[in-house]
């Protein structure tokens, strides 16, 4: 992504992408500075603006590749290893078909994704994955915000996720997004809890 031509000092982070189909304006003027919130009238040509869109079953192979590469590059090597590392096109095709999800893509390159499924009286969110080269730009925050919109569209009162206790950064991320811990869970064969169950209430 380019830096902002109006403020070259704009940090290279923040949700600088479009929601939905590419703007009708064409390849020019489609990019918005996260700080100014305005399209760049004389912006440089951007051929691949990151765009947030609903995932389709035929995205499954790209989703699986992204999930495996993102979870291979976590802050901490978790014990046990994440089951995300075993995701395949088939497993995610089934998830997308039965539940759904949202991705952020630049052209045909998938940069980030989040899958969901209606479960336990809420929208369960899983496989939050951002390409290691695209982190720190607010993509995870934007995907979770979209899940929240989806839950509200379905009149569900909560979002919930399961986060490894070893991943302090991920726990901090969800806390900053308004989630709180409601339970802990343990992987079979482990003596202590390995997971935090977090939820965000939408009915408060």
Question: In degrees rounded to 5, what are phi and psi of residue 67?
Answer: -60, -45
b/e sequence 3-28, b meaning 16+ C-beta within 10 Å: ebeeeeebeeebbbbbeeeebeeeee
Provide the token pair at 45.
Answer: 């040509």
Task: Reply yes or no: is the peptide bond before residue 167 cis, omega within 30 of 0.
Answer: no
- Residue 51 in the binding site for ligand COA (CB under 6 A): no
From the CB of 163, what's the least distance to ligand COA, in Å?
Answer: 4
142 three-class SS:
helix
From the CB of 157, what's the least distance to ligand COA, in Å?
Answer: 21
Q: List the x/- string, 57-96, binding to ligand COA by CB under 6 A.
A: -------------xx--xx---------------------
**Cβ closer to ligand COA: 29 or 181?**
181
Instruction: Output the residue with the shortest Cβ distance to ligand COA.
Output: 169
Residues that bind ligand COA (CB under 6 A): 70-71, 74-75, 128-130, 135-141, 163, 167, 169-170, 172-173, 176
């Amino acid at each position: 992504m380019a830096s902002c031509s109006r403020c070259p000092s704009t940090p290279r982070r923040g949700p600088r992408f479009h929601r939905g189909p590419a703007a009708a304006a064409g390849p020019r003027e489609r990019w918005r500075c996260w700080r100014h919130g305005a399209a760049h009238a004389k912006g440089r040509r951007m051929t691949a603006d990151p765009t947030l869109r609903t995932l389709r079953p035929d995205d499954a192979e790209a989703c699986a590749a992204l999930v495996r590469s993102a979870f291979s590059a976590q802050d901490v090597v978790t014990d046990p290893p994440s089951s995300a590392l075993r995701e395949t096109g088939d497993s995610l095709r089934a998830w997308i078909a039965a539940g759904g999800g949202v991705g952020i893509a630049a052209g045909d390159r998938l940069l980030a994704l989040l899958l969901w499924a209606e479960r336990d009286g809420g929208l369960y969110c899983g496989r939050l994955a951002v390409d290691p080269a695209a982190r720190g730009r607010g993509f995870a925050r934007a995907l979770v915000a979209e899940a929240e919109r989806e839950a509200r569209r379905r009149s569900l009162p909560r979002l919930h996720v399961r986060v490894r206790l070893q991943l302090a950064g991920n726990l901090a991320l969800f806390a900053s997004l308004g989630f709180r811990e409601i339970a802990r869970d343990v992987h079979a064969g482990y003596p202590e809890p390995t997971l935090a169950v977090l939820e965000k209430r939408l009915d408060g």
